[in-house]
Structure 1
Amino acid sequence: MLGRLRDHTRQELLTVGTVVRYAADRELIEQDARDTHAFLLLDGVVKVQVTDEAGDTAVLAIRVAGDLVGEMAALDHKPRSATVVTCGDVVAKLITSAELTAFLHRRNDMFVELISVVDDQLRWANKRRRDFLSHTAAERVARVLAELVGSYGRQERGGWTLGIPLTKVELASMAGMKPRTAEKAFSDLRKAGVVVSHYRRDVLVPDLEHLRRFARLD
């Protein structure tokens, strides 16, 4: 969000709200809660996740510094649609519903960019739904992994890591699968040489081009 704004709008937005700090694995926002503030992330990474009636949790998205989270409830005052959890230390601006609404009225360009961000998020979600119809479980995980590594990955000895502390089950849940299917998908990825090894909190990809070919992205 911040990177899309005009300089003067960005600088003014950074003056809005109260600076807050959170340690890893803290909930910034809780699903179904009735609070209405938003967070502008200044540093760190969070994951957006939902829990169904059976108690199963799925990660929907990753948000990083410059992103706005919780804006839906801040604007429509409806119950929270998801939980937001820190993936490490996070610094953010807590912005009340009144502060966000007033800012959007003052700065129309912020409103336009917010619509653009929501559009991008919907397109990403629709892409995952199309993947479900036309790709195997392993390919779906590979497609999500390729996008995340492309956006946040770090090159290290032996390949690329995700750069975000997600378990393989959390990563696979972004592709719409349950834990048991996730195990099979990662087994197929290892056999194909797409993932050399995986750790409890990270994944190692030796060759990005091989990953993209396996995911049928080329």
Structure 2
Amino acid sequence: MGLLGNDLAFARALTAHEHESVMALGNRKLYAADTHLLSEGDRSGHVMIILQGWVTVSVATDRGAPRLILGLRGPGELLGEMAALDSHPRSATVRALGPAAAQVIPGDAFRRFLAQHPRVSGLVIRQLTFRLRSADQERSALASLTVLQRLAVRLTELSRAEPAGPYTPSAPRPLPTGTVVHLAQDELAATVGATREAVAKALRLLRDQRIVRTGTRLVEILDPELLALLADGHADSHPDGHQE
């Protein structure tokens, strides 16, 4: 499973000259928490590079069911490139988890830039390939892992995410931020393709075994080693030894 983008975000893979040139194509825009940066089905064609904050990428599911969160994107990540390249409607909705900032670049300007910079075009293709592979892994996980295992994978992954501070192209990749995940239970449920009730039950099991502590929009990981074992499938489906 993989909710986060690849280890080297698009903007961080650019040279200093490429970075300056691509940023000059657009303008910085600020977004409030819960604002939609992009909307599923919309026919806009611009792209965005996240400068600060975290956003979720989600798609609609069956009528009445919660949206499925496909990705969590942070500073340096490129968004909206598919619609810019194929002129089809947006395939997902991008929503700000908290205050966010992004460089918004018109689609035609971005396409011209890629045509003139084959190396950067290759970076976009690499990103698309990575995200397609991640989507395949997500579908496999939904079919083969229990809710508890999927949640353990997700919490382990999110705990290693970089902070949502401003994007600086010359800054080194930060070390893992620790063991606190700032998502509500319904948002966690959407990231693992499960109901809120199923995730609440799984969190209760983890809490009873002192693997996590929960609060309002917060999950603190107390025992990352055991959580990682659950995520890797090297422990029983339940931390107390019972199978689900």
Give the TM-score normalised by the residue count of structure 2. Answer: 0.80
Query: Which structure 1 segments of 5+ residues have no match?
Result: none
How far residue 77 of structure 1 moved from its aligned partner, in angstroms, is 1.4
Shift of 1:62: 0.6
Tell me the equivalent position of 2:70.
Answer: 60
Give, in whole Å, the separation in 1 of the partners of 2:120 and 2:201.
Answer: 43
Q: Is 1:8 matched with 2:17?
A: yes
**Could you tell me how far apart the structure 1 residues matched to 2:56 and 2:95 are?**
5
1:143–1:217 contact (8 Å) kept in structure 2: no
> Which 4+ residue blocks in structure 1 deviate beyond 3 angstroms?
none
User: What is the TM-score of this pair, normalised by structure 1?
Assistant: 0.89
The aligned runs of 1:75-94 (5 Å cut-off) are: 75-94=85-104
How many positions carry a matched residue from both structures?
Answer: 211
Quote the offset at 1:151 in angstroms. Answer: 2.3
- Counterparts of 1:4 and 1:125, CA distance in 2: 22
Structure 1 vs Structure 2 CA RMSD = 1.7
2:220, 2:233 → 1: CA distance?
Answer: 19
Which whole-Å deviations, capped at 9, do the CAs of 1:76-125 have from their partners, x for residues lacking one? Answer: 11111111111111111111110110111111111111111112222222
SS in 2 for 1:151: coil
Whichever structure has more strand as a proportion of its residues is 1
2:202 to 175, 181, 185: 185
2:232 alignment counterpart: 216
Provide closer, same or farther for how the CA distance between residues 34 and 25 of structure 1 changes in structure 2, counting only shifts above 3 A: same
Q: 1:25 aligns with which of 26, 34, 45?
A: 34
List runs of 5+ in structure 2 lacking aligned partners: 1-9, 163-175, 235-244
User: What is the 5 A alignment of 1:80-119?
Assistant: 80-119=90-129
For residue 29 of structure 2, give the secondary structure of its aligned residue in structure 1.
Answer: strand
Give the aligned partner of residue 220 of structure 2: 204
